[in-house]
Amino acid sequence: MANTTAKLHVVYGDGTLGLHGEGFQYIFSYERGGLESLKRDGKEWLYRVPKPTFWRATTDNDRGNRFSEKSAMWLGADLFSPCTDIEVAVNGQVITLPIAPENNRYSDHETADKVTIRFTYTTTTVPATTMTVSYTVDATGEIRVQAHFNGQAGLPELPALGIRFSMPTAAQGFTYRGLSGETYPDRMAGGQPGDYQVTGLPVTPYMVPQECGMHMATERATVTRAITLNNADPDTEPFSLTFKQAGTPFNFSCLPYTAEELENATHIEELPLLRRTVFTVFGAVRGVGGIDSWGADVEAKYHLPADRDYDFEFVIAGTQD
């Protein structure tokens, strides 16, 4: 059982908000605009702050039907959309953003039942829109991540919509409870429900690297790494982090590369040395299509129009999960 008497420790820093508890230490950066550190049992899980993702590496069908040309501004948005607003709520009450000097009124022993920090990202599209990502942390270390995309008329269809976590080192592999193989909204009937293990971080070796590795309708996924970048940590015992559904199943991919890295390569051997883990939770996935590769669009029901709102959420399991 969870220790219900434990409190979440809050550090109202000058540039960050720290949330600590038994076996976890999270640091949210106001300057970086996101979760800068997700440390569990002494192991860091983040290389850079997670950001909304709007791009997928162009598939052959995307190229053929000129989807990527039409939606190209989402590539810029994927790379460059800044954090433009931050809001903090403690025990459900929004507080004045606790940056200096506001944070002078706090102490070195602040606690809370739960804290929510919400980052708003403004897309570099024309017209612009916003996406908010809220992290709600409780004393168990569980992080509930809720995302909201504000639809905006005049924007091209979305290639993808999700939150991308870049982890410092390459995973040994991952397990998940969901569908076999790789699935997309228009290609998931053949996916068999079950528990699956993937060794390493395979990139599906399409002749031209492209979007790959999607897992639809997932209940939970656990990433396992063995090494860190911490020079003082020679330990090589595997350690894991679990993502869980919050209500409805989620979609994810776990790859060693970002969409942009995949986009740039004309062959798999051009991809960089395998260094990181890019774990992305997708709130919405565009279909892959299949009628032809020189013009036929993905079927309409598998498009992601950008003039409507999207909401999705998931949970990063706490230390006692």
Partner 1 sequence: MQADLKWLDDPQTYRVNQLPAHSDHHYYRTVAEMQAQQSSFVQSLDGTWQFAFAPTPQERPVGFEQPDADHQNFGDIQVPGHIELAGYGQLHYTNTLYPWEGKLYRRPAYTLGDTTGMPGMFSAGPDNTVGAYLKTFTLSPKLRDHRVVIQFDGVEEAMYLWLNGHFVGYAEDSFSQSEFDLTPYLQTGENLLAVEVFKRSTAAFLEDQDFFRFSGIFRSVRLVAQPTVHVNDLTIRANVLDDLTTGDFNLTLALNDDAGQSGAQIKTILHAADRVLLNQTVPAQAEVTIQHVPVPNVHLWDHHDPYLYQLQVEVLDAEGHLLEVVPYDVGFRRIELKDKVMCLNGHRLILNGVNRHEWDAKRGRSVTVADMQYDLQVFKQHHINAVRTCHYPDQIDWYYLCDRNGIYMMAENNLETHGTWQKMGAVEPSDNVPGSLPQWRGAVVDRARSNYQAFKNHPAVLFWSLGNESYAGDDIAAMDRYYHEHDETRLTHYEGVCRNRAYEDQISDMESMMYDPPKVIREYLDNDPQKPFVNCEYMHDMGNSLGGMNSYTDLIDQYPMYQGGFIWDYIDQALLINDEVTGQPVLRYGGDFDDRHSDYEFSGDGLLFADRTPKPALQEVSYYYGKYDR
Q: What distance in Å separates the CA atoms of residue 95 and residue 121, rounded to the nearest whole number?
A: 20
Tokens, residue 26: 């999270």
Q: Does 153 bind partner 1 (CB under 8 A)?
A: no
For partner 1, which is the closer residue by CB, 213 or 283? 213
Q: Does 205 bind partner 1 (CB under 8 A)?
A: yes
Give the shortest CB-258-to-partner 1 separation in angstroms.
17
For partner 1, which is the closer residue by CB, 19 or 161? 161
Q: Which of 126, 207, 232, 273 binds partner 1 (CB under 8 A)?
A: 207
For partner 1, which is the closer residue by CB, 10 or 254? 254
Residue 219: burial class (beta carbons within 10 Å; 0-12, 13-18, 19+): middle
Q: What distance in Å separates the CA atoms of residue 190 and residue 182, rounded to the nearest whole number?
A: 10
For partner 1, which is the closer residue by CB, 47 or 206? 206
Residue 78: burial class (beta carbons within 10 Å; 0-12, 13-18, 19+): buried
- Run of H or E including 67: helix 67-70
Q: Does 290 bind partner 1 (CB under 8 A)?
A: yes
Q: Does 191 bind partner 1 (CB under 8 A)?
A: yes
- Widest pairwise Cα distance in the chain: 63
Q: Does 185 bind partner 1 (CB under 8 A)?
A: yes
Q: Does 307 bind partner 1 (CB under 8 A)?
A: no
Contact 129, 150 (CB under 8 A): yes
For partner 1, which is the closer residue by CB, 34 or 213? 213
Contact 242, 222 (CB under 8 A): yes
Q: Which of 44, 138, 142, 211 binds partner 1 (CB under 8 A)?
A: 211
Q: Does 180 bind partner 1 (CB under 8 A)?
A: yes
Q: Which of 17, 287, 306, 313 binds partner 1 (CB under 8 A)?
A: 287
Number of residues that bind partner 1 (CB under 8 A): 39
Give the shortest CB-299-to-partner 1 separation in angstroms.
5
Q: What distance in Å separates the CA atoms of residue 183 and residue 217, rounded to the nearest whole number?
A: 9
Segment contacting partner 1 by CB under 8 A, of 77-85, 87-95, 207-215, 303-311: 207-215
Contact 280, 164 (CB under 8 A): yes
Q: Which of 289, 304, 316, 317 binds partner 1 (CB under 8 A)?
A: 289
Q: How distant, in Å, are the alpha carbons of 76, 162, 217, 220, 314 from that of 180?
A: 32, 21, 10, 13, 20
3-state secondary structure of 260: helix
Residues that bind partner 1 (CB under 8 A): 59-61, 64, 180-182, 184-192, 204-208, 210-212, 267-269, 287-294, 296, 298-299, 302
